[in-house]
Amino acid sequence: MAGLNGDPFLGIDDNIEKLQYNNNSKEVIDKEGLVVGIGEDSSNNKNNNQGGEKDMAGNSIHRSGSRPQLDLSKAEIQGNSEERDPTILLPNQTDDISHLALDIGGSLIKLVYFSRHEDQSVDDKRKKTVKERLGISNGNRRNFPILGGRLHFVKFETSKLNECLDFISSKQLHRGRIDSHHWNSEAPANENAVIKATGGGAYKFADLFKERLGVSIDKEDEMDCLVAGANFLLKAIRHEAFTHMEGHKEFVQIDHNDLFPYLLVNIGSGVSIIKVDGDGKFQRVSGTNVGGGTYWGLGRLLTKCNRPYSSVTPLFSFDELLELSQRGDNRTIDMLVGDIYGGMDYSKIGLSASTIASSFGKAISDKKELQDYRPEDISLSLLRMISYNIGQISYLNALRFGLKRIFFGGFFIRGHAYTMDTISFAVHFWSKGEAQAMFLRHEGFLGAVGAFMSYQKHGLDDLMVHHLVERFPMGAPYTGGKIHGPPLGDLNEKASIIEFCLTNMRQFMLYSISWMEKFVLKGTEITAPVPMAPPGTTGLGGFEVPSSRGATLRSDASALNVGVLHLVPTLEVFPLLADPKMYEPNTIDLSDHKELEYWFTVLSEHLPDLVDKAVASEGGTDDAKRRGDAFARAFSAHLARLMEEPAAYGKLGLANLLELREECLREFQFLDAYRSIKQRENEASLAVLPDLLLELDHMDEETRLLTLIEGVLAANIFDWGSRACVDLYHKGTIIEIYRMSRNKMQRPWQVDDFDLFKERMLGSEGKKPRPHKRALLFVDNSGADIVLGMLPLARELLRRGTEVVLVANSLPALNDVTAMELPDIVAEAAKHCDILRRAAEAGGLLVDAMNNNTLDGSRGNSSSVPLMVVENGCGSPCIDLRQVSSELAAAAKHADLVILEGMGRALHTNFNARFKCEALKLAMVKNQRLAEKLIKGKIYDCVCRYEPAT
Ligand X SMILES: CC(C)(COP(=O)(O)O)[C@@H](O)C(=O)NCCC(=O)O
* Contact footprint for ligand X (CB under 6 A): 602, 606, 658, 716, 719, 721-724, 780-781, 814, 877, 902-904, 908, 926-927
Cα 172–chain centre separation:
26
Nearer to Mn ion, 511 or 729 (CB): 729
The one of Mn ion, ligand X, none whose footprint includes residue 844, by CB under 5 to 8 A per kind, is: none
Are 143 and 1 within 8 A, CB to CB?
A: yes
Are 943 and 757 within 8 A, CB to CB?
A: no
- CB-hemisphere CA count at 13 Å for 444? 35
Nearer to ligand X, 354 or 722 (CB): 722
Shortest Cβ distance from residue 926 to ligand X (Å)? 6
Nearer to Mn ion, 201 or 904 (CB): 904
Nearer to ligand X, 85 or 597 (CB): 597
How do 60-61 and 76-78 pair as beta strands? unpaired
Separate counts of helices (H) and strands (E) for the chain: 30, 31
Nearer to ligand X, 206 or 814 (CB): 814
Shortest Cβ distance from residue 817 to Mn ion (Å)? 9
Shortest Cβ distance from residue 674 to ligand X (Å)? 11
Say what the alpha-carbon torsion angle 870, 874, 877, 879 is, to the nearest 10 degrees.
Answer: -90
Nearer to Mn ion, 556 or 816 (CB): 816
Shortest Cβ distance from residue 877 to Mn ion (Å)? 5
Consecutive H or E run containing 35: strand 35-37
Shortest Cβ distance from residue 229 to Mn ion (Å)? 39
The one of ligand X, Mn ion, none whose footprint includes residue 927, by CB under 5 to 8 A per kind, is: ligand X
List, in order, residues 6 or more apart from 86 with CB less than 8 Å away: 20, 21, 77, 78, 79, 80
The one of Mn ion, ligand X, none whose footprint includes residue 799, by CB under 5 to 8 A per kind, is: none
The one of ligand X, Mn ion, none whose footprint includes residue 45, by CB under 5 to 8 A per kind, is: none
- Cα–Cα distance between 181 and 530 in angstroms, integer? 34
Could you say which DSSP state residue 903 is in?
A: I
Shortest Cβ distance from residue 937 to Mn ion (Å)? 20
The one of Mn ion, ligand X, none whose footprint includes residue 875, by CB under 5 to 8 A per kind, is: none
- Neighbouring CB atoms inside 10 A of 595's CB total 17
In the complex, the residues that contact Mn ion under the rule CB under 5 A are: 780-781, 816, 877, 902
The one of Mn ion, ligand X, none whose footprint includes residue 658, by CB under 5 to 8 A per kind, is: ligand X
How do 867-871 and 803-808 pair as beta strands? parallel
Nearer to Mn ion, 536 or 902 (CB): 902
Nearer to Mn ion, 564 or 814 (CB): 814
Shortest Cβ distance from residue 678 to ligand X (Å)? 12
Q: Which residue is nearest to ligand X (CB)?
A: 721
- Cα–Cα distance between 898 and 805 in angstroms, integer? 10
- Cα–Cα distance between 23 and 528 in angstroms, integer? 61
The one of ligand X, Mn ion, none whose footprint includes residue 908, by CB under 5 to 8 A per kind, is: ligand X
Could you say which DSSP state residue 470 is in?
A: E
Q: Residue 873: what are its φ and ψ, rounded to 5°? A: 90, 5
DSSP code per residue over 729-742: HTTS-HHHHHHHHH
- 3-state class of 210 per DSSP? helix
List, in order, residues 6 or more apart from 843 with CB less than 8 Å away: 129, 133, 866, 867, 868, 869
Nearer to ligand X, 546 or 877 (CB): 877
The one of Mn ion, ligand X, none whose footprint includes residue 903, by CB under 5 to 8 A per kind, is: ligand X
Shortest Cβ distance from residue 722 to Mn ion (Å)? 9
Nearer to Mn ion, 588 or 839 (CB): 588
The one of ligand X, Mn ion, none whose footprint includes residue 204, by CB under 5 to 8 A per kind, is: none
- Closest Cα to residue 927, out of 938, 936, 935? 938
The one of ligand X, Mn ion, none whose footprint includes residue 238, by CB under 5 to 8 A per kind, is: none
- Neighbouring CB atoms inside 10 A of 109's CB total 27
Give Cα separations from 590 to 602, 607, 906 (angstroms).
Answer: 13, 20, 18
Consecutive H or E run containing 22: strand 16-22
Q: Residue 197: what are its φ and ψ, rounded to 5°? A: -150, 150
Shortest Cβ distance from residue 712 to ligand X (Å)? 11
Shortest Cβ distance from residue 903 to Mn ion (Å)? 7
Nearer to Mn ion, 106 or 902 (CB): 902
The one of Mn ion, ligand X, none whose footprint includes residue 293, by CB under 5 to 8 A per kind, is: none
Shortest Cβ distance from residue 590 to Mn ion (Å)? 20
Shortest Cβ distance from residue 395 to ligand X (Å)? 45
Are 712 and 681 within 8 A, CB to CB?
A: no
Shortest Cβ distance from residue 507 to ligand X (Å)? 30
Nearer to ligand X, 866 or 902 (CB): 902
Nearer to ligand X, 36 or 906 (CB): 906
The one of Mn ion, ligand X, none whose footprint includes residue 617, by CB under 5 to 8 A per kind, is: none
Are 193 and 455 within 8 A, CB to CB?
A: no
Beta bridge partners of 777: 806, 899
Nearer to Mn ion, 680 or 760 (CB): 680
The one of Mn ion, ligand X, none whose footprint includes residue 320, by CB under 5 to 8 A per kind, is: none
- Return the HEC string of 505-546: HHHHHHCCCCHHHHHHHHHCCCCCCCCCCCCCECCCCCECCC
The one of ligand X, Mn ion, none whose footprint includes residue 722, by CB under 5 to 8 A per kind, is: ligand X
Nearer to Mn ion, 3 or 902 (CB): 902
- Cα–Cα distance between 203 and 463 in angstroms, integer? 31
Nearer to Mn ion, 488 or 607 (CB): 607
Nearer to ligand X, 301 or 724 (CB): 724
- Cα–Cα distance between 907 and 942 in angstroms, integer? 11
Cα 880–chain centre separation:
11
- Cα–Cα distance between 62 and 53 in angstroms, integer? 7
Cα 203–chain centre separation:
35
Shortest Cβ distance from residue 927 to ligand X (Å)? 4
Shortest Cβ distance from residue 806 to Mn ion (Å)? 14
Shortest Cβ distance from residue 809 to ligand X (Å)? 11
- Neighbouring CB atoms inside 10 A of 928's CB total 15
Using only C-alpha atoms, what is the Rg of the chain? 30
Shortest Cβ distance from residue 696 to Mn ion (Å)? 24
- Cα–Cα distance between 461 and 146 in angstroms, integer? 11
The one of ligand X, Mn ion, none whose footprint includes residue 723, by CB under 5 to 8 A per kind, is: ligand X
Beta bridge partners of 405: 436
The one of ligand X, Mn ion, none whose footprint includes residue 267, by CB under 5 to 8 A per kind, is: none
Beta bridge partners of 945: 921
The one of ligand X, Mn ion, none whose footprint includes residue 699, by CB under 5 to 8 A per kind, is: none
* Region at 459 (left for phi over 0; alpha for psi -120 to 50; beta for the rest): left
